[in-house]
Amino acid sequence: MATKKQPPATGVAPSPSHINTNQKVEALETFRADATNQALTTNQGVKIADNQNTLRAGERGPSLLEDFIMREKITHFDHERIPERIVHARGSAAHGVFKVYESQAELTKAAFLQDPSKETPVYVRFSTVQGSRGSADTVRDVRGFAVKFYTEEGNFDLVGNNMPVFFIQDAIKFPDFVHAVKPEPHNEMPQGASAHDTFWDFVSLVPESAHMVLWTMSDRAIPRSLRTMEGFGIHTFRFVNAQGKGRFVKFHWRPTIGSASLLWDEAQKLAGKDSDFHRRDLWEAIDNGDYPEWELGVQIVEEEDEHKFDFDLLDPTKIIPEELVPLKMIGKLTLNRNPDNFFAETEQVAFCPGHIVPGLDFTNDPLLQGRLFSYTDTQISRLGGPNFHEIPINRPLAPLHNGQRDAMHRQTIDKGQASYEPNSIDGGWPKETAPAAAGGGFESYTERVEGSKIRVRSPSFKDHYSQATLFWNSMTDPEKDHIVGAYSFELSKVERKPIRERQLGILANIDETLAARVAENLGLPAPKKNADADELGKSSVTESPALSIIAKAKPSVKTRKVAILAAPGADAASIKAAQDALKAEGAHAKVISPTLGSPAQGIEADATILGMPSIMFDGVIVAGGKDSAKTLSESGDARHFVLEAFKHLKAIGAIGDGEDVLAAAHLPSGEEGVAVGSDAKTVLKSFIEAMSKHRVWSRAQKAESVPA
Ligand code: HDE
């Protein structure tokens, strides 16, 4: 009989103390296939001599069933698709690292938040919510912001969104909400859009959605780039330190390049002209070495302060205003590597809010509690069984051993005879690690709970409007205009008048001016506040500048994209000057011409005017040169290019004769953010300054008269 391993006297083998990115790369290496210099084979490893012709009886004869090569290939192809995610089907992801700034031992014992010299590998997936896998990137929607940390103590998934609140307070309403927002069941329309009856029917009947719907009607729902989005864990979580002390925590991600959004007209056009706009931007930024970065911020609330707010910390439709609890930045996330294979990594990655590590814990937020069940459950049908944790992108780097066995697609070849615990046959292994001193296992935070078994909503969840009012009051004027525009657009697409009227009632409870402005656009009477005092609630904070993207924008042109418009005969010196000046500031220039080819000596066009319209850029510079200016002035497409940039409040520059093109497009002259002149240096300086503010907001009213 074979000798059995003997257990050591105490404890279990410790986890590896240092896991780094290279280890994740190496771990994936085992599964990565590189076909360079390799023969084409079947899945059984048999070399294929002819991949062009099915085996047949005679040159013009029938195909033979015997052809195992053709059958294997077609069979595999027939089963290529897996079910897309029910929500968040459209996504893009990247690898990266997370580093904590300094030990957070006082707050949490989580190993990945202790040592600033440690790098924890991460995989981050961004997504839209409503649309199917092939839907457009720039639709008005919430964005998912899901981070998988491969920590030395196991995987921690922070599965958040780019907005800090949610539509509903209880998980049991999620299927209702999703059915309402998805394309309507009878005709599967519209795709990736909330501008339809079922969505507005539901939210107008469910006032707890008022705050979140306001966020989705704001600029947050049409980000300029995935790299300029903030992220939020939404729910209140718990940090637990080594002494067992627990504190409430809210998680925030802040992009280091600042936040920025599209305009609605741009977003709609981009959905048609480049439906991969966000995916491409993320991919290219990482390819260019412009690694996207976010700081991780936490808001900490001591347990004894749980009830000191005018909202419930467990209510996911509420934020903790930064005026009440400031953000503390504790670390940085950097995305530095594009995936090798979309399906293997981005499609198969499986997030779950229940994937946590020692030092973290949940709260009783009823939305979070439901999520803890849903994600694992959905992966079982999406990824074909309970072994999805073995798919390379989902495998933890921490060692894993347990008695779970078999099921579809099992990869691990478990050794030993005992798949149960306790056992004496395999020496008792693997063993549980309690008490913590024996091995640092996960122990749930001890929380006192008492009460009757009831289906009720806590009265502390009743206020549905006061924080929506806070959000509205914290917006700058252009942001308020966009919100009015968004409600008006969406509700104008709702066919049933009672739904429009009911939603106006909700708006009046948020702010009567907001309701009146939208009502006017809908040709309906403006309603007055109609909720009772409990529902209206009261926020101790009346304005929070941190909620506005424009109010806290940091001037920068880093990684922004500029079109240099040039036709044959363009002045090469003006193009080079623009390229150099932009490069020095970390911006990227592309030469755009009516055709591909060379518009000036030594300069190649990167794209055509129709191939890369101005909506794909943050600013436009028209190159100098008489012939170039003449061609562009006579081209309707070129004139539209600059006019559209003007309409979208972008910085515009024209060097030398380039100014003629602006005149030909009938651009109002002497406008803020439009720099013209013969001295390239001066033009570029004011152009860069204007673009650093992202948009020229003061132009908004004038831009309205420019046709879209
Ligand atoms: Fe999700 N959600 N969700 N969700 N969610 C899914 O899980 C669910 C909620 C979020 O990139 C699904 O793997 C329920 C809030 C992200 O793969 C599913 C409830 C927040 C992603 C699911 C919520 C999110 C998902 C679909 C209410 C922000 C994409 C596929 C109780 C904090 C993750 C999947 C990725 C995906 C359920 C509410 C974020 C069906 C039941 C709140 C970022 O399990």
Over residues 506-531, the pLDDT tens digits come to 999 999 999 999 999 999 999 999 98
Q: Can you list the domains of the chain with their CATH numbers?
A: 51-80 (no CATH), 91-394 (2.40.180.10), 464-547 (1.20.1370.20), 561-705 (3.40.50.880)
Q: How far is the CA of 512 from the centre of ligand 1 (A)?
A: 33
Using the CB atoms, write b or e for 630-642: b if 16+ within 10 Å.
bbbbebeebbbbb
382 annotated ligand binder: yes
Going by pLDDT thresholds of 50, 70 and 90, the confidence category of residue 708 is confident
The pLDDT of residue 17 is 56
Strand partners, 157: 148
CA distances from 304 to 246, 247, 571, 704 (A): 10, 9, 69, 52
- Report how far apart, in Å, the C-alpha atoms of 679 and of each of 143, 146, 407, 660, 686 are: 43, 48, 71, 15, 11
Here the tokens at position 448 are: 């006192």
Of 209, 374, 380, 388, the residue with max ligand 1 atoms within 8 A of its CB, to mutate for a pocket test, comes to 374
pLDDT band at 21 (very low <50, low <70, confident <90, very high): low
Query: What is the 351 CA–ligand 1 centroid distance (Å)?
Result: 8
**In the chain, % of residues over pLDDT 90:** 91
- What pTM value is reported for the model? 0.95
Atom 3 of ligand 1, residue of closest alpha carbon: 371
71 has binding-site annotation: no
Q: Binding residue per annotation — 174?
A: yes
Q: Look at residue 19 in the predicted model and tell me its pLDDT.
A: 64
Could you report the per-residue pLDDT of 44-91, keeping only the tens digit for each?
999 999 999 999 999 999 999 999 999 999 999 999 999 999 999 999
Lay out the sheet containing 651-655: strands in order across: 607-608, 588-593, 561-565, 619-622, 651-655, 674-677
Residues with CB under 6 A from ligand 1: 85-88, 91, 125, 127, 144, 146, 159-161, 166, 171, 174, 234, 351, 367, 370-371, 374-375, 378
The string of pLDDT tens digits covering residues 251-269 is: 999 999 999 999 999 999 9
pLDDT at residue 15 is higher than 70: no
Q: Predicted confidence band at 669 (pLDDT cuts at 50, 70, 90)?
A: confident
Atom of ligand 1 nearest to the CA of 175: 41
Q: What sign does the CA torsion over 590, 592, 597, 603 have?
A: negative
Distance CA 426, CA 415 (A): 10
**Dist CA 125 CA 221 (whole Å):** 17
Q: How many angstroms does the Cα of residue 147 sit away from the middle of ligand 1?
A: 12
420 among annotated binding-site residues = no
Please determine, for residue 18, whether its predicted confidence score (pLDDT) is greater than 70. no
Catalytic residues: 88, 161
Assigned token pair, 604: 């190649």
Q: Mutation test of ligand 1: which of 147, 159, 169, 369 has the most ligand atoms closer than 8 Å to its C-beta? A: 159
Question: Which tens digits make up the pLDDT trace of 165-224?
Answer: 999 999 999 999 999 999 999 999 999 999 999 999 999 999 999 999 999 999 999 999
Residue nearest to atom 20 of ligand 1 (CA): 160
Measure the CA–CA gap between 347 and 89, rounded to whole angstroms: 9
Q: Determine the distance separating the centroid of ligand 1 and the alpha carbon of 87, expressed in angstroms.
A: 7
Given this model, what pLDDT does residue 1 score?
37
Least confident of 406-415, 600-609, 639-648, 667-676: 667-676
- Residue 6 pLDDT more than 50? no
420 alpha carbon – ligand 1 mean position (Å): 33
The confidence band for 437, taking pLDDT boundaries of 50, 70 and 90, is low
Per the annotation, does 517 bind a ligand?
no
